[in-house]
Amino acid sequence: MKKRLGLFVGMLIVLLALGATTVLAFPGGTWVSGVTVANLSSDTASIVITFYNPDGSVAFEVTGESIDGNAAKTWYLPNVTGLSDGFIGSAVVSSDQPVAAIVNTQLPSGSNPTRVGTSLGVSKPSTKMYATQVMKGYYGWNSYCVVQNTGSVAAVITGTYYNAAGTAVYSKSVTVEPYASYIFDQETETNLPSSFSGSAIFEGEQPIAAVCNFYNSGVSAETSQIHSYNGLSEGGNTLYVPRIVKDYYGYQSGLKIQNVGTEVLSVTVTYNIGGNTYQQVSPDIAPGQAWGPYMGDENQLPASMAGVQGSGSAVIEVNSPNANKLVIATVNEDNRVNPAGRGVTYASALPTDATTTLVFPQITSEYYGYSSGMQVMKISSGDVACTASFAASGNVAAFSQNFTLTDSAPSWSLFAPDAQGMVAGKANDNYNGAVTISCNGNVVGIANLSYRYDRDNRYGNVLGDSFTTARGINK
């Protein structure tokens, strides 16, 4: 039986020029997408990708494709023959094996400055999706959210916006055809006030999925950031943050923690950086309201973190938890010093997201200048032994690397070019493949990639936002 996986992306666009004649206000330029699908089984997977126009009609269908067991394949949409230039819409991946996917929304290769964001394909749609960060003219930042109807009949989808205090300020309802999507564009929404920064809830008559992008002007490398993140369907009393950084090679993290319950609550954030732990208690957060510190501003952090530098992980816990006190969170990471302009966002993990087998659909090492990093965080108590298995790709044979997570060092990170199996092809790895993390306890994790001229200078330097991040997928 075919398994369907909706790719509910920020934009599935092929060579779409966004100029003055468009009614939408996306970041300027010609945008494209790349879809990477990972086969989560050891058997060969048959793949069909169906692309849908906004009116629900089928734009094109990719058929006759397969992916080897535990491997991945990428479709760069400008190279998909039969999909028309100017396409903007949604897609559904169908397979006879369990699969997962990530979607890159980007300017074409060679753009200056470059811009790219990454979101996950959604396998578990819901009738309600939360978006933690939406903006309209907020210090030069704007956003849009793409919401897909994953049901087989037309459905009304309603988006409601909340200000920073958690007060609803505007709602909009639209009818969306089966498997099609609608773009809630905050920048052109006249019913939102200028300088708006808040959150949104999207609700559908059928299960939906949502992805949001927020971005700045893109007029220079320093203002080229585009952040993609998936809407969240449920909150929890405990959330896990696999990667958080403070003064780390010019990078800083920020948290956005939203109360999606019905009672006022507070949270305790426990940071683990360099083997040391630090705790921060939030102020009261009202239902619908969001709070979170920016790690680059020590006035927003506990005094014990003054001078702390490095990367690590964090746990967010609701104080005096109950079924009515629920939170969600997204994590930002950006660089505001030279070379400025890079940024990413990813969703924190619930305990139910943890797994003993974690899959990263796309890991690169010196692949057209791009290299990845991984960070894995343990959820189980005690020592957790893990193996990272790299599929064969480029001139790199399949290999594995072992590591152990402990209570004092609960997270592990690896820059892919430094992996043990990459050494033989160090000068020219060209690795672009899936990596599976297998552990004897539960873990969560993220993978990122960026253009690393310092590690691969074959293609010249690239300025702008080449930085992307996506959560690992529970196998």
- C-alpha closest to that of 291 among 422, 133, 415: 133
Task: Quickly state the pLDDT bin for 105 (edges 50, 70, 90).
Answer: confident
Residues 117 and 166 in one domain: yes
Which residue range forms the structural domain that includes residue 330? 240-347
451: enclosing H helix or E strand = strand 431-451
pLDDT at position 18:
30
Mean pLDDT, residues 191-207: 96
Residues 263 and 399 in one domain: no
Task: Quickly state the pLDDT bin for 11 (edges 50, 70, 90).
Answer: very low
Residues 247 and 225 in one domain: no
Task: Quickly state the pLDDT bin for 9 (edges 50, 70, 90).
Answer: very low
Distance of alpha carbon 46 from alpha carbon 69, whole angstroms: 11
Residue pair 101/9 in contact by the 8 Å Cβ criterion: no
Share of the chain above pLDDT 70, in %: 93
Chosen domain end from 347, 375, 398: 347
Is the pLDDT at 458 greater than 80? The verdict is: yes
Share of the chain above pLDDT 90, in %: 68
pLDDT at position 30:
81
Residues 62 and 202 in one domain: yes
Residues 89 and 200 in one domain: yes
Residue-wise pLDDT for 143-175, tens only, equals 999 999 999 999 999 999 999 988 999 999 999
CATH number at residue 206: 2.60.290.11
Residues 211 and 264 in one domain: no
Residue pair 16/30 in contact by the 8 Å Cβ criterion: yes
Residue pair 35/80 in contact by the 8 Å Cβ criterion: no
CATH number at residue 322: 2.60.290
Which residues lie closer than 8 Å to 55 by C-beta, 6 or more apart?
177, 180
Residues 295 and 362 in one domain: no
Is the pLDDT at 112 greater than 90? The verdict is: no
- C-alpha closest to that of 227 among 21, 467, 458, 54: 467
Residues 318 and 458 in one domain: no
Residue-wise pLDDT for 283-308, tens only, equals 999 998 999 999 999 999 999 999 99
Residues 199 and 332 in one domain: no
- C-alpha closest to that of 467 among 369, 377, 393: 369
pLDDT at position 339:
66
Is the pLDDT at 274 greater than 80? The verdict is: yes
pLDDT at position 425:
55
Mean pLDDT, residues 318-345: 92
pLDDT at position 396:
86
Average pLDDT, the chain: 89
Residues 201 and 332 in one domain: no
Chosen domain end from 347, 369, 402: 347
Is the pLDDT at 16 greater than 50? The verdict is: no
Residue-wise pLDDT for 219-263, tens only, equals 888 999 999 999 999 999 999 999 999 999 999 999 999 999 999
Residues 263 and 244 in one domain: yes
Is the pLDDT at 20 greater than 70? The verdict is: no
Which residues lie closer than 8 Å to 201 by C-beta, 6 or more apart?
128, 129, 130, 131, 159, 160, 162
Counting the structural domains of the chain, the total is 3
Task: Quickly state the pLDDT bin for 22 (edges 50, 70, 90).
Answer: very low
Is the pLDDT at 421 greater than 80? The verdict is: yes
Residues 258 and 288 in one domain: yes
Is the pLDDT at 126 greater than 80? The verdict is: yes
Chosen domain end from 199, 233, 267: 233
Distance of alpha carbon 455 from alpha carbon 444, whole angstroms: 27
